[in-house]
Amino acid sequence: RASDAATTMGAWSLKGCTYDGSGGATAANGITLYQDGLAIASTATNEATYVAMEDTIDVLAIAQDNATNYFNGAMAFVLLTATELTAAQHWAIKELANYHYGLTL
């Protein structure tokens, strides 16, 4: 899924996404992107040949878009869950991050 929202550079923000587990050529329709605890506008980037998220060969890669292009910045934490989070849960995580790190996201 691709964000339609502008991202502020040089400032802390909380990024999140959920995936409802749907498969097939329109699986990206089951993804929601979040910024600072709120859902943001985005466009599905569906792939006609996609079947399901079952690739057991590749390792999880966080903060890179290919083998040589890595995230250039600071990260405070990464949270990975085994279930789809609700909008209220994204908001609660944002509130916890604000409290723990002294932020006002």
Take residue 85 and report the two structure tokens written for it: 């989070």
Q: pLDDT per residue over 42-55, tens digit each? A: 999 998 888 887 76
Q: pLDDT per residue over 44-90, tens digit each? A: 999 888 888 776 777 777 888 767 778 888 888 899 898 999 999 99
Residues with Cβ within 8 Å of 98's Cβ and at least 6 positions away in sequence, in order, are: 104, 105
Interior/surface letters 9-43, b for 16+ CB within 10 angstroms, e for the rest: eeeeebebbbeeeeeeeebbebbbbbbbbebbebe
- Residue 16's nearest CA partner among 98, 83, 79 is 79
